[in-house]
Chains A and B, each alone.
Chain A
Amino acid sequence: MARVILVFNKKVIAEYPFAKNSITIGRGEGNDIVIDNLAVSSLHARIDKTEDAYILTDLQSTNGTFVNDKRIVSHRLQHKDKIIVGKHLLFFALSKEEQAKAKEAVLDETMILDTARQKDLLAKQAERKGMEVAAKKEKIGVINFIDGSSQAEIELSKKLTKIGKSETSEIPLDGFFMPPTAATISRRPNGYAITPTGKTKVKVNNQVVKESHFLKDFDTIEIGSFKFQFYTQETEEKKTS
């Protein structure tokens, strides 16, 4: 249960447990927290308990209600907030369980951090761990023909590289039995994967590939009579996508 602690001249005068859904503060007798001082209006402020928060509202008092030295009209109370009414100080305190819940609620809410603050935070963390923040290097896949073609090294820069007889193939292969697209290599979050798409057999390291197969460095790929090797190399280029 939350509490409100009334302090005057640096002395604790009273403590009020938050037993109702709403408590009022003022000079008048009918208030839950009565402060007998002329600087306090007869009905000065109210705290309402909602489902997940305590809301303090100033009831148009003459001298105003302040939280942590700022005048407020309505304010969502946090643990250890200092409420000032006239010359009196009211400490707001949450119970341990409520504090834990409040913390969780804040972290559960999705929020966005702007790029500058992000970089700053990450750089500081890296510094603390004694690391240098290096520019992210990207690894790019390369196909190198071993035989069956005179083509040179081909970089797999596309997200989806088509291999086959079709003119739109990034890696064109010819031959009577070669389908328009014999296989595709797609660049996915987990790496490069080869998928056979036609009737022509696709082998990786002498094993026939049926569905997708993630490629590792120096895997040997065979499509029909063509044979090539796959490997990755680092690029300095920054990602553009």
Chain B
Amino acid sequence: MDHSINLYVVADGMGGHLAGEVASKVAVEMIQKNVNRWISTNSSEEELFDFPDRTLSRIGNYVASSIKLANRVIYEMSRGYTEYKGMGTTIVVLAVMPSTVIAANVGDSKAYLIRGNIIEPLSKEHNMVTEQLEMGLISKEEAENSPLKHILTRNLGSSDTVDVDVFEVEPMNNDRFLLCTDGLTEHISDDEILSIVKNGDDPEHLCRQLISEANERGGNDNITVSLIFVNKLDSERRGIIERFVYLFKK
């Protein structure tokens, strides 16, 4: 793997008889493989799958395109084989480089940036409740208790094309990035995530703490949490990024 980029992917599969696990595995492998391949060959944006997005950087387009390609493959698999019928997965990707951090997602798995005492999303939730909220059909309180939270409007595998939300930020020293599946955020608010993540320096311990807190409150979904810490970044942005990742499944 090229040392100038570190790629982290969290996927939450859906579909019975292990099909969900197949979908998430295919997505993770394809995204890793394609982004790294395009970086090593320094591919131009025109060579990628689907049209490039002019609002994104070149690497941003690599990430978006790799997700679109994974979607197409999962979609074709689910159409071609009865045992894979109806399979799909959510995805959230974080590409970390000294100059830029790129977050991309489809579905309800999330990315957060914790900088100073502020937590902010770097992903969008693609479910019915968010659509209703954006259209002003329901209030924030209604959204939090809505049973439509689990109805996704986008995922990988259900349609031949997919829109990906991508965000790009400049990393700073002491930034902490968190990737997680909806099992975590279902039970823990953003502010609570902030106070837990700020309250320690051992990422492994913090991930365990987040998951045990969610489980105590009745989390029965599989939960995956990944924390990435940025430090030793010099002002020229050529420094190394120390990183820690921990994934846990219940």
Contacts and interface: CB of A to CB of B under 8 A. Distances in A.
Interface of A: 107-115, 118, 121-122, 125-126, 129, 131, 133, 136, 157-160, 181, 184, 186-190, 193, 195, 197-199, 211-212, 239-241
Given A186-B167, A241-B55, A129 B137 contact: yes
B144 interface: no
Contacts of A108: 150, 220-221
B35 to A, nearest CB: 17
Interface stretch (B115-123, B192-200, B209-217): B115-123
A109 B54 contact: no
Nearest to A183: B170
Ranked nearest first, the 8 interchain pairs of A and B with the lowest CB-CB distance are A160-B168, A159-B168, A184-B170, A107-B147, A189-B121, A112-B158, A186-B169, A112-B152
Contacts, number: 121
Range class of the B interface residue count: 35 or more
Contacts of B79: none
Interface of B: 12, 14, 53-57, 60, 64, 88, 100, 108, 115-116, 118, 120-124, 128, 131-132, 134-137, 147, 150-155, 158-159, 163-170, 172, 182, 220-221, 235, 237
Given A113-B153, A240-B55, A195 B172 contact: yes
A110 B118 CA distance: 30
B155 A112 contact: yes
Contact of B135 (A107, A122, A184, A188): A122
Given A122-B137, A131-B137, A158-B54, 18 more contacts: A108-B150, A110-B14, A110-B150, A112-B88, A112-B152, A114-B158, A121-B128, A126-B137, A157-B54, A159-B166, A160-B168, A190-B120, A198-B235, A212-B169, A240-B55, A241-B53, A241-B55, A241-B166
Contact of B131 (A109, A111, A112, A118): A118
A112 B14 contact: yes
Contacts of A212: 115, 118, 169, 172
A115 B169 contact: no
A189 B135 contact: no
Contacts of B123: 189
Contacts of A211: 115-116, 118, 172
A188 B167 contact: yes
